[in-house]
Structure 1
Amino acid sequence: MRIKLAISLATILFTGGINLLNANETIKLEEIKVEEDSIFSLSNENYYQTLSFSGTKMDTPIKETAQSIQIITKDTLEDIGAVKMDNVLDYVSGVDRQNNFGGTWDNFSIRGFFGNDNNGMSMLKNGFADNRGYNAPRDSAIIENIEFLKGPSGSLYGNSEPGGTINIVTKQPKFKPQHSVKLTSGSYDFYRTSLDTTAPISENIAYRLNVVAEKKGNFREYVESKRYVVVPALTWLLSDNTSISYNADFVRQEQPLDRGIVAINGDLKAIKKDVYIGNPNDGDIVLKNYTNQIKLEHYFNDDWVSRSGIAYKDNSFKGYGSEIIPSTYVTTDSVNLRTRYRDYSSDDIQFQSDIKGEFDVGSAKNTLLFGVEAYRVKLNSLLYNNSNAIRVDNIQSNPTYTILKTGLGTLNTNRYEKQNGTALFVQDELAIGDFRFFAGLRYDKVDMKTVDYKTSKTTKQDDDAILPRVGITYLINQEWSIYTTSGTSFRPNSGLDRNGNSFDPEEGLSFEAGLKYEAEDKRYGATLSAYQITKKNVLTKDLLDDTFNVASGEVESKGIEFDINGKITDNFKLNANYSYINTEITKDNQGLQGKELRNIPKHSATLLAMYEENIFQNSSYGLGGSISYIGSKQGNDTNSFKLPSYTKVGLISYYKYKKDLTFQLNVENVLDKEYIESSYDYSWLNPGNPRSFMLSMNYKF
């Protein structure tokens, strides 16, 4: 019903926009040619990009946008040898790793906020929501570049965390034939083959296809994974001013659940980093993600454009996994594990439509955007729990695994959830001289229904929110700008309190100010920002009955960030960042007030540098490296232990022969530093990768 309502509203938007254009007389449109590179595949300037479509959906240059926006470009992805999204996190300030559900999906925080423990923070793909349900880690075969939108984006994208939002821009078809095959091999039996091909099918239709097959071993015992990715895309130029794009990705990942290592009597180094605390006979958890997106773009004239799209995702997560109970404090050389069987699935359909127009208001230039959005997501969760099903002995020396119980065990969860959402939004940007004034407003309405088949209980709740954002940018000169902005965020809280009432949604409020620099030749840029964010209505335990929650918690994050990236000289590329984050739980019923958020280092910094030189005609080489410092951070919610700080070093080198053949060698953690990357508690510690090598050959034809 809501999808139908949104489509009806979109029709009104389209006809309203057309009527606006035809109010006085019929307008003869000038010839408008839709270029082969759409707004979703902006050209890269090495490590720096001047535009971000998803920041405002208004094509506003980053230097003029009242928000910190950092982009990991295609060149950065290639240089660091990224195969998954997790590989890029060190190269953006304020982004930190969180509990990734045993390595089966992406989960990280921005500016201290990480959203739901099991689903993570909000994420977008080409502007569509992409993190509802159960998603395998994103593969680089999908990615053209990654946009990190710092601060709340609720006025444009609705349900989100106040720390920021990530938008993945996928690879798009080109009308110039380009084909490549890449073979990669690395330490611990890592093998990957990928194909990237694009070409015109006809004068008006072009395709792109990326295919990946990957088999990956691990320094961790019994942990091997397989991944298969197919990413088709089509662009159809219906006319000089209208185009349709289709983007899809089909991912299958097979991997055992791996919660990492455990501490013994609080000692984080009590056992070796390769010890597997699980059941080697559980087999793989299989994730399947099938995504389809269709977008229609139409230019009415040089000033007015409409965009509409539909996205559909079908995800599943199924398999056995044995794990230690996360609150367990291990004191001996043996641990008992529970075995859980999970059968999760999700079904997500969403619709978007907006119109953007530019017109003059006196001597000022005005850009207006308004639109509608609707979605429906269904989630099915089936979970069986078999307590004390396996014992692992001798975990400090030579682990042995003893099966104590078999079978599914007890039905723990059998639940169906359905969420419907609709939204209206409007944004306006006014350019007056050297000032840019920005204002956005969004109204969100979310209805949720949960059916617990185990207890035969059905619950419903309705939430709505009005989400404003304002910002001012002053262009000091051609290279420098200064900005300030404030915005809100919103995320529904599911469940009921002890009186059977639904919870108020989480609400975030952010204040930010910053200074931006962009070189005159636009080859590199930098951003310095400071922010303060408060999130309230965080769920915490009810003091009268701790089996229930109350929405009374509050969390605060303050920080400073600095990022610089781009091509500093003809031969030298740089990506560097620094982040200071101070988080605090300011209200809580469980004695956590004054505690810091887990896995958030106060200080972190990364430097990536690359030197490139031509050897002879059409051949070149590159040498570079990276150094990352991650400060100490709290290992659990109670702040009872810290994960030590660490520094890791990487090396990069490539040789390109006649532009068609490239050999690349990457070395990760050159000094073989041992460290804990993230944790959930003493019993779930994720050790970082030891020294490893990756050699690839990329042939273009």
Structure 2
Amino acid sequence: MKVQSVSVAGSLVAGAVLAMPCVAVLAQEVDVVEVVGRRSAGAYHASEADGAKTSLPLRELPQAVRVMSRQSLDDLGATRVDDALDYVGGVSRQNNFGGMWDNIAIRGLAGDSNTGMALLQNGFAGNRGYHGPRDTANIERIEFLKGPAAALYGASEPGGTLNIVTKRPLWRSAQALEAYAGSDDLYRTTLDATGPLAADVAYRINAAAEKRGSMRDFVTTRRTLLAPALTWRAAPGTTVDYRGEWQRHRGLMDRGIAAVGGRLDALPRSRFLGEPADGDLTVANTTHQLTLEHVLREEGGERWALRAGLAWKEGSILGTATESSAALQPDGRTLRRQRRFRDYESRDIVLQAELAGQARWGGIGHDVLLGVEGYRFRNDQRMLRVLPSTTAPYAIDVLAPVYRTPDQLPQVLPATDTRERQRNEALYLQDALRLGDAWRLLAGVRLDRYEQSLVNRRSGVVTTQTPHAVSPRLGVSYLPSPRWTLFANAGRSFRPNSGTDAAGAALAPEHGRAVEAGAKWESADGRAGATLALFDIDKRDVVTADPANPGYSIVAGAVRSRGLDADLTGQLDRHWRANASLSVIDAEVVRDNVLEVGAGLVNVPRVNGSVLLTYEGVAAGRPFGVGGGVTYSARRPGDSRTQVQVAAGTPVFELPGYTQARLTAWWRVTPRLRVSLDIDNLFDRTFYTSSYQSTWVAPGARRAAVLGLQAKF
């Protein structure tokens, strides 16, 4: 194997291509490792993850981590983050707010139903406030950090956290322009350009514009993204990085279809149950991240560096949407609805400072991290609403819908006007110890001091709370051979709850506990690897409905998730690469005032799995690639089953299991021009990705083909 040239140069190789740390080894018989646009060859298997904040290779880290590389995203034709979620073990889709944001559960545990999953962007909190479905145009890789991350990042879910790593500037000029057209009136264009602006300054800019129809009646989305990045070598050992992002997502809020008589096939999957005359809901966000790293000392195997970071994120939701109520009327066809106008705005400011060092003390290798973090978050929510009533029901016939004109829509009236403020200061410490050749010990703890206030601007009531949290973590790895690792870890987590109870008191935070044990394997050449992990997670102080005060919540619930997940990724030989996942999860309610104890958690299948295979070769003197993927999800609860439903003998509402296939192919027409074809839902199966209740069920997309042209210049 010989690599004749590599189109990555300069001293930022490690930072620019962390998703491909062994890229020269992995690119067998490929003359050029591509750094912009879609890659024709590259890594599935990664050896490092920024989100772990340690120099330990992932094989030695006592934690299950799955990295979805840029090559994986390209092979999947993923233009949104949720296009890749079915190919990671332990991940299940959740309610996505009518298509207005991303939301998943990791290891059976979802985040806040009003804010979505735990998510980081380049190590900063990325999911406080509002953010539309994330575009992949500026994403280098997605790191799935399984298990509790509170010891490093504070408020989070005990099942796991995502860290999205965006593309960094490179020190060699390269540009790529891509265009796509596909089924259901999909049109998309992207630009990726990078290179030096001066001897010490490099830039990168990613842009995307997309218009996408759908099989859903009236539902069209439009999205624009602009993501600039700069790197400045301010002095020897000192680097300043800036990464920005502007994204705008517009479309009808689409809560999906309703089950009629418990049957999902009673309505066509295209049936829209909102009002087209409401117009688009717009989700907009702006992100600025600035980091400075200065190397204090680097000699004799010892390295110490200071890092400071500042992030500013603003988000908003603006628009009107008609949404169905919880159940059909007794006639089995009339669905009452509510109409909401939302004017939501959020602002999040984060400051971090860290001292990181690798040194040997007392014959033991230490990888030390000491950090402080503070953030200020503000969330303004103003809602106007009309609710259905018996005298003037705002309803639709789901079997024969008649939509209203703009002048027939009911007038919305003031309902909610609140301002929430959060302040947090935290101190965290982590040390990864290399105890000889065979043992690794990872210990960490974080202390959070949290302040929260909620002002009801309609009533004048102010609610405050100041909870503190201590989040420890401890893990150990044993390396019996150069290829195998056995590991175990335990940790705690917390997540503040928003809102108040019927008495106006703040809702206490959720708390979680998780233990994990498993094994890792990596091939001798580092091109492939696998992880198998068993886990046991408990979460208490979960928000649940207050049976004594309908419409209010209390902290009284508890849930549990146990099971296993497995991932295998990498290059099988010179032509084949593979990505496979499997999870078996038993997630259930263990205590609640309203829900049935023992009921499964919504949208969490007991079994799901996936396989993605890609073959690359040369035909007629030109490189080509073909591949395919299969995903499987077992049946799962479609809503939260209540004790009242159990007493009444109401049948369990479940989403059916499904198997889905996709195909992908590409051919390099010239050294600078490539053609691609992606076909999703190859056999046009009807399936349902998630639900919130029986009248909010999201159908999966029908078969769709996308033809693309990728040009490099």
- Provide TM-score, normalisation by structure 2: 0.91
Q: Counterpart of 2:708 in structure 1: which amino acid?
A: S
Q: Which runs of 5+ in 2 are unaligned?
A: 1-8, 24-42, 643-651
In the alignment, what sits opposite 2:196? 200
RMSD: 1.8
In the alignment, what sits opposite 1:495? 499
Aligned length, in residue pairs: 667
Q: Counterpart of 1:373 in structure 2: which amino acid?
A: E
1:432 aligns with 2:435: yes
1:667 aligns with 2:672: no
Aligned counterparts, 1:225-264, within 5 A: 225-264=221-260
Q: Counterpart of 2:47 in structure 1: which amino acid?
A: T
1:54 aligns with 2:58: no
**Per-residue deviation, 1:493:** 2.1
1:700 aligns with 2:696: no
Q: Counterpart of 1:508 in structure 2: which amino acid?
A: G
Identical amino acids, percent of aligned pairs: 36
Q: Counterpart of 1:51 in structure 2: which amino acid?
A: E
In the alignment, what sits opposite 2:149? 153
**Alpha-carbon contact 1:358-1:368 (below 8 Å) kept:** yes
Q: Counterpart of 1:356 in structure 2: which amino acid?
A: A
Aligned counterparts, 1:158-557, within 5 A: 158-302=154-298, 303-328=303-328, 331-388=331-388, 393=396, 395-396=398-399, 399-401=402-404, 406=409, 408-433=411-436, 434-557=438-561
List per-residue Cα deviations over 1:577-627 (Å, max 9, x = no partner): 11001011111111421111000000001000001002365x311111001
Aligned residue for 2:71, secondary structure, equals: helix
1:116 to 1:263, Cα distance in 2 relative to 1, 3 A: same
Q: Distance in 2 between matches of 1:449 and 1:398?
A: 43
**Alpha-carbon contact 1:152-1:160 (below 8 Å) kept:** yes
Aligned residue for 1:105, secondary structure, equals: coil
Q: Distance in 2 between matches of 1:79 and 1:397?
A: 41
Aligned residue for 1:140, secondary structure, equals: coil
Q: Counterpart of 2:319 in structure 1: which amino acid?
A: G
**Per-residue deviation, 1:564:** 0.2
**Per-residue deviation, 1:82:** 0.6
Q: Return 649-658 or 165-174, whichever deviates more.
A: 649-658
Aligned residue for 2:85, secondary structure, equals: helix
1:249 to 1:403, Cα distance in 2 relative to 1, 3 A: closer
1:40 to 1:674, Cα distance in 2 relative to 1, 3 A: same
**Alpha-carbon contact 1:54-1:127 (below 8 Å) kept:** yes
1:189 to 1:392, Cα distance in 2 relative to 1, 3 A: farther
List per-residue Cα deviations over 1:612-665 (Å, max 9, x = no partner): 002365x31111100111000000000731111000110011101343111110
Aligned residue for 1:673, secondary structure, equals: coil
Aligned counterparts, 1:103-142, within 5 A: 103-142=99-138
In the alignment, what sits opposite 2:36? none
List per-residue Cα deviations over 1:77-115 (Å, max 9, x = no partner): 111111100100011011111111110111111011111
Among candidates 632, 637, 640, match of residue 634 of structure 1: 637
Q: Which runs of 5+ in 1 are unaligned?
A: 1-32
In the alignment, what sits opposite 2:40? none
1:582 to 1:355, Cα distance in 2 relative to 1, 3 A: same
Q: Distance in 2 between matches of 1:549 and 1:681?
A: 18
Aligned residue for 2:148, secondary structure, equals: coil
**Per-residue deviation, 1:43:** 4.2
Q: Distance in 1 between matches of 2:658 and 2:682?
A: 13
Aligned residue for 2:614, secondary structure, equals: strand
Q: Distance in 1 between matches of 2:501 and 2:402?
A: 44
Q: Distance in 1 between matches of 2:197 and 2:178?
A: 23
Q: Distance in 1 between matches of 2:536 and 2:223?
A: 40
**Alpha-carbon contact 1:73-1:144 (below 8 Å) kept:** yes
Aligned residue for 2:75, secondary structure, equals: helix
1:658 to 1:402, Cα distance in 2 relative to 1, 3 A: closer
Q: Return 645-654 or 534-543, whichever deviates more.
A: 534-543
List per-residue Cα deviations over 1:155-178 (Å, max 9, x = no partner): 000000000000000011000111
Aligned residue for 1:251, secondary structure, equals: strand
**Alpha-carbon contact 1:329-1:682 (below 8 Å) kept:** no
Q: Distance in 1 between matches of 2:185 and 2:16?
A: 35
In the alignment, what sits opposite 2:39? none
1:578 aligns with 2:582: yes
Q: Distance in 2 between matches of 1:396 and 1:544?
A: 36
Q: Distance in 1 between matches of 2:636 and 2:395?
A: 29
**Per-residue deviation, 1:37:** 3.5
1:356 to 1:198, Cα distance in 2 relative to 1, 3 A: same
**Per-residue deviation, 1:435:** 0.3
**Alpha-carbon contact 2:325-2:335 (below 8 Å) kept:** no
1:36 aligns with 2:12: yes
1:40 to 1:371, Cα distance in 2 relative to 1, 3 A: farther
**Per-residue deviation, 1:500:** 4.7
